[in-house]
Amino acid sequence: MNEKNIIKLNDWTREIVNSVEEDLRMELKKVIQENPNWGWEQISIQDVFGCAINQLPPIYIKKDQVPAIKLSTDEIRNAIYIAMERVKRNPIHIRKEEK
């Protein structure tokens, strides 16, 4: 295969983002503020985010574009609360005060 026939995926995908990630970040900030005693730590925030994003369908857009469809706030919050429950039942870290 010659050089000009090689597909450069980075050029094609550099501008593509999952718009659900930003919506999830915004709702997760609100949920953290509403539940300050849940035991938030950096690792648990990452666990909840990762678990929640995997429950939600992606909506890919080009950066700086507005998505044609958006998930509802209820759908995003539901995914967060399910993720919180899953992380609470199966923590992968030990809090300092539990040692």
**Assigned token pair, 15:** 């501008």
Task: Encode the chain (99 residues) as per-residue pLDDT tens digits.
Answer: 566 656 666 666 788 999 999 999 999 999 999 999 888 887 889 999 999 999 999 999 998 899 999 999 999 999 999 999 999 888 776 554 444
Query: In angstroms, rounded to a whole number, what is the distance separating the alpha carbons of residues 39 and 36?
Result: 7
DSSP letter assigned to residue 67: P
pTM comes to: 0.78
> Angle 52-58-61 (CA atoms, 0-180°, nearest 5)?
135
The amino acid present at 28, given as its one-letter code, is L
Q: For the chain, give me the number of helices (H) and strands (E)? A: 4, 2
Going by C-alpha positions, the residue among 98, 99, 97, 95 that lies closest to residue 42 is 95
